[in-house]
Structure 1
Amino acid sequence: MAKLPQGFVVLRGGMTKRPTHPNIVFRRTWKIGAPDAESDERFLSTCFVDTGALEELRDCQEPRRIVVGRTGIGKTALLKQLQKSEENVIELQPEVLSLNHLSNSNIIKFLEEIDVHLDLFYKVLWDHVLAVELIRRKFDIRSEPTMNNFFDNILPNFSKKSMAREKAIAYLREWGDKFWTETEYRVKEFTTKLENDVKAAVGGQLSGVSFGVDAAKSLTSEQKGEIVRRAQEVVQKIQIKDLHSVISLLADSVFTDPQQRYYIVIDRLDEDWVDDSIRYKLIKALIEAVRNFQSIRHVKVVVAIRTDLLQRVLRKTMSSGFQDEKYEALYLKLRWTEQELEQVLDRRINEIFKSKYTSGGICFRDIMPKNQMEKTDSLGYIFKRTSRRPREVIMYINECIEKAEGRSRFTADIIRSAEVTYSQKRVTSLEQEWGSDYPSLRNYIRVLKGKASHFSYNAISEEEILNSIAQSLQQGDMFEDDLCVLGRKYISSTVAGDEVKDCWFTIMYRIGVVGIKPMPNIIVQWSFIDDAEIPDGYELQGMEFYVHPAYWIGLGISLK
């Protein structure tokens, strides 16, 4: 970006003279936004900054439709903006789909316990739900009369007669008598059919025994083998071919108008919408369904998912034949530049000042100190202490505003004072963000307490890491993560200490608290900018490691 003449700034309308507003006075109750999109409606509606991602999502021919990014990077905000900018958007909320009916089902639990592969069922369930939602929206099926009109007057006109068309219509008629009901009803209906079919197929083998986890554990090997065979046959007979015919019918005869685009958006997959015992399989099945619906050219199924949750899905479902490479083209990985983050700040500071002082444009740099901080400008100092996510920038600036009570601009002292609270909150937020993967993360991160801002592999001892694991094991966390498992193996002398140490470094890099410098001629790499995992072939022992500046104060990092 070319350097602007002194006293000028770029606003939405182009380059203009930088205004001065000597009467601006900060109040500690002011905020430039909330940390989460759900609470940030005021600013999202007027201050949205499009990095190009919105246009990609709106374009149904563009393959990227799974929005991937860490907490606070703007996934939910992007989906909300899509809903505002397009007319035909269906929002599916996982928590209201009654998918807990699956995890509460004794038969599903039974089948999972005896290792019946239900991946196909989960995928077909998503296909079924998505197809019906599209039909409901397209033909405005909200009641029994509108449903009857669809089957009597609309459906018979679809496409030319063919075996596939007849199968599709037969499938829709079989399941369509309750199209007008809520989505959660259809999830239960579809699951109940599988349960009844399984009961009929294997009931003879469980005479007098109820389905459930306890029943599964009491089976003999012979009983288990026969039940798995019969149950697997039921799963394989699910009407997957008929559903493919339905999707083809929708592509060829229904959603054919390029001026009438339809979207289904699914968010909040990281929340408590289904039991973890099947959540990862359901998300994997959803990703496969999203890929399947690409064949409908003017329909786009858009899913938002946190980076750490996607990584967890890949790890947990690897044995199910899930190949991430096949789905790379679907991922829209959100990234922010410092220039884009500055636009976010400019728009938000204008929003809080416009009704109080002026209708003219205010640039964020107008309220920042002019002197440099650590050989960079003050805004660069702040950005350096974030992972380039809007949420973190907003958090930091809100802390600055609170410290700037009664003043008209920030000072270097205000920014450094705000950093103390901000850094402590970032450590806590990091523990919460990754708590599902690493319940004992608090203990692991504390190994860095008081360390230098950058250090070698040997600066962290195996003893320090093993002590953090011992603390975690003593606390008796219900779920033991990879590091705890390795710690137990070390205690039983089945793994070496350096393997435990490498695992700790890998976790610290993955969560973003530590960056790596593999070789002297390579810049520091961070998981939120570069590779999400340390690349294969890198030797940890020869690297330099850097603690991210966001955590320096929170972890008491030594800067000497």
Structure 2
Amino acid sequence: MSNPVVLNNTSRIGLISAEADEEFLFECFVDSPALAELTQSNSPKMLLLGSTGAGKTAIIRKILHENDSSSLVQLDEMALGYLGNSDVINFLIGLDVNLDLFFQALWKHVILIEFIRLKFNVDNEEKSKFIFSQILNAFSRDQRKAKGLEYLRKWESKFWISMDENIKEITQNLEENVNAELGSEVAKFTGRAGYIRSLSTEKKTQLQRVARRFATPELLADLSKVIDTLAEHVTRVKPNFVLIDQLDENWIDTSIKYPMIRALIESLKSLRRISDLKTVVALRSDLLEKVILETKNAGFQSEKYEDYIVRLKWNSKELKSLVNKRINFLFRRKYSQENITFEDIFVEKVKNSSSPFAAILERTLYRPRDVINFVNMCLEQSEGKTFVSRRNFSLAEQSYSANRLTAMAEEWQNVILNADSVLNMLKGKKEIFELAELCSNDLLDQLVQHYPPDSQSKLDELWLLVNDAMSRNVEPFELACTLISRLHLMGAIGVKYDSNLPYQFFFRTQKPLPEMQLDFSTKIKIHPMLHAALGVIN
């Protein structure tokens, strides 16, 4: 380099959040097979699945950036607060009425209205009515389309109004129908705490029978006809993209959130019939696990949707390309017109004479966020220097490891209550140990100390087993196997069943651990990213 780089504590190769990292995101984007699959109009892939920091939002923003006919659904503009605060909705949930079909109807309506806006560039009432007249002229003689056209007629002047008004109107229709027959019961539910718990089994069953009629709305059948109509009204080869992201955020009360996400996933399949509509939903892996846990009784099985899922994975070559692009982009603007690479900054070997990039990758889950975070911490530790030294790397690792332990616990807290306590079961252990070493008589006592006292959501299988073990004899081996399966799911450990096989980490296999294959001699390896924070013995 003609001009040496000087590092300081503000040197960054990007920010942790893709929303705040727009400059680096578009200038240094690394093409992904997932992006190619999601943007192919004839590909069934619609559900982008990945862990926190894997780059889901970056891909969503890239699709939005490069396609004029694309729209990101803003969850905070969908009047979902109105839905969550509805006395009628909460009454039906309290009665254990399955609202899946109603929620599916909501999602289909939202996506179809957004699609019509995109497809026909609807931005006012006049344009909205004009577009409906075009569709009507095209299909008015086809009796099979009558229901779909009737539905569109109801909304002909409303394609352009805000999303929250659309959802409020549909929810209010449900409220009016329910109140017409069960208004007095809804009033009792609203005015008297614990009203539903006080009902006799016979009375509750009677109310459920009436309420279920409203949970299967005619709206859903009408929407199916709308889909058929729009499927035959194809006007362009390139798809119109309706994008949904940030489902892990607090956009609605959790009592409704998980059934709503389940309904969204269920609704995607039928929307595929419209060839110039491509719906892409980004979803965190741990959130999908939580949805499955919370909606088990509804018969939801993620296996049925494998054909629609893209799992976001990165290899070392792609991650190295991402880091090099970002380092070059950062320093060329300030110091040189020459290309500046990772090797220009990380010049010293690190522990065990490893190359710095190999050492960084070893301490990540092969996700962009992990790599960017580690490199940023190394740059921060190298204030005033022209390169990252071995000592700077070691200091950065201490901070990075503590950061990763906290982030992992937060990421999985909604799936595994007290996830931080579960992770701390690895504290002070050897890097590699056998399952038998966990199977002590005091394992239950250790877990009981961290048992969630008043869980507001369903317990994970580990805590269910601990709960059972308080009243019946549970073998330490069974407890140890369940503990290991949860640690594996979080990405904290790898498991080796056979000496001829490599360690199986969840971030590589994307498959939960088959507990039946575990035995006392199964080897467990704690992921290197947690070694410093947990005081793991190498």
TM-score of Structure 1 vs Structure 2, range by shorter chain = over 0.9
Q: Which amino acid aligns with 1:550?
A: M
- Whether 1:547 and 2:526 are equivalent positions in the alignment is yes
Which residue does 1:202 correspond to in 2?
182
- The answer to whether residue 445 in structure 2 is matched with residue 484 in structure 1 is no
The residue number in structure 1 matching 2:303 is 325
What pairs with 1:29-48 in structure 2 (closer than 5 Å)?
29-48=10-29
Cα distance in 1, alignment partners of residues 92 and 469 from structure 2:
35
> SS at the partner of 1:537?
helix
Distance across 2 between alignment mates of 1:60 and 1:318: 32
Query: 94-103 vs 43-52, which deviates more?
Result: 94-103
2:57 paired residue number = 76
**Partner residue in 2 for 1:123:** 104
TM-superposed CA distance for 1:465, in Å, is 3.8
1:110 to 64, 75, 91: 91
Q: Is residue 398 from structure 1 mapped to residue 376 from structure 2 by the alignment?
A: yes
| Cα displacement (A) at 1:32 | 0.8
Q: Which amino acid aligns with 1:538?
A: Q
- Segment drifting more, 309-318 vs 494-503: 494-503
In the alignment, which residue of structure 1 is the partner of 2:288? 310
Residue equivalent to 1:277: 255
Give SS of 1:67's match.
Answer: strand
| 1:139–1:371 CA distance, 2 compared to 1 (3 A) | closer
Question: Is the 1:256–1:297 Cα contact (8 Å) retained in structure 2?
Answer: no
Residue in structure 2 matched with residue 188 of structure 1 by the alignment: 168
Deviates more, 1:236-245 or 1:397-406: 236-245
Q: C-alpha displacement at 1:232, in angstroms?
A: 1.4
**What displacement does 1:416 show?**
1.6
- Partners of 1:392 and 1:315 in 2: CA distance: 27
Distance 1:150 1:93 in 2: 24
- Which TM-score applies when normalising by structure 1? 0.91
Count of aligned pairs between the two proteins: 536
Please say if 1:347 is aligned against 2:347. no
**1:470 aligned partner:** 448
1:203 Cα deviation from its structure 2 partner:
4.2
Deviations 1:430-489 (A, max 9, x none): 111112123312222222111100100122244554344333248766555433332222
Q: What amino acid maps onto 1:163 in structure 2?
A: Q
Aligned to 1:504: 483
The answer to whether the 8 A contact 1:465-1:504 is kept is no
Q: Return the match for 1:85 from 49, 66, 72.
A: 66
**Shift of residue 24, structure 1, vs aligned partner:** 1.4
Task: Return the alpha-carbon distance in structure 1 between the equivalents of residues 454 and 37 of structure 2.
Answer: 46
CA RMSD, aligned part only? 2.1
CA distance, structure 1, for counterparts of residue 117 and residue 498 of structure 2 = 57
CA contact (8 A) 1:106 1:211 kept: yes
Q: In the alignment, which residue of structure 2 is the partner of 1:363? A: 341
Task: Give the aligned residue type for 1:262.
Answer: N
Q: Higher mean Cα deviation, 414-423 or 154-163?
A: 154-163
Amino acid at match of 2:219: Q
1:298 aligned residue: 276
Cα distance in 1 for partners of 2:439, 2:3 equals 54
Summarize the alignment of residues 198-237 of structure 1 with structure 2, pairs less than 5 Å apart: 198-203=178-183, 206=185, 209-210=188-189, 214-237=194-217
**Structure 2 segments unaligned to the other structure (5+ residues):** none
* Aligned equivalents of 1:291, 1:477: Cα separation in 2: 34
Deviation string 1:253-303 (CA, Å, 9 cap, x unpaired) is 1x34204x2000000000001111121111111011122111111210000
Counterpart of 1:13 in structure 2 is none
The equivalent residue for 1:52 is 33
Q: Per the alignment, do residues 536 and 293 of structure 1 end up closer, same or farther by CA in structure 2, a change over 3 Å counting?
A: farther
* Contact kept in structure 1, 2:381 and 2:395, CA below 8 Å: yes
Match of 2:155 in 1: 175
1:143 CA displacement: 2.6
Relative to the length of structure 2, the TM-score reads 0.94
Letter in 2 for 1:36: S
Give the superposition deviation at 1:378.
1.8
Which residue identity is paired with 2:423? I
Bigger drift between 241-250 and 210-219 goes to 210-219
CA gap of 1:533–1:138, structure 2 versus 1, over 3 A, is same
Q: Which of 129, 134, 150 is the matching residue for 2:115?
A: 134
- CA deviation after TM superposition for structure 1 residue 210, in Å: 4.7
Secondary structure at 1:356's aligned position in 2?
coil
Contact 2:46 2:279 in 1 (8 A): yes
1:373-522 mapped onto 2 (5 Å cutoff):
373-374=351-352, 376-463=354-441, 465-473=443-451, 480-493=459-472, 495-522=474-501
Question: Identity, % of aligned pairs?
Answer: 32
Contact kept in structure 1, 2:443 and 2:476, CA below 8 Å? no
Alignment partner, residue 231 of structure 2: 251
Verify the 8 A CA contact 1:53 1:334 in the aligned structure 2.
yes
Query: CA-to-partner distance for each residue in 1:299-350, whole Å, 9 max, x for gaps?
Result: 1000000001011112222221222222101111011111111111111111
* 1:15 paired residue number: none
Q: 1:400 to 1:130 in 2, by over 3 A?
A: same
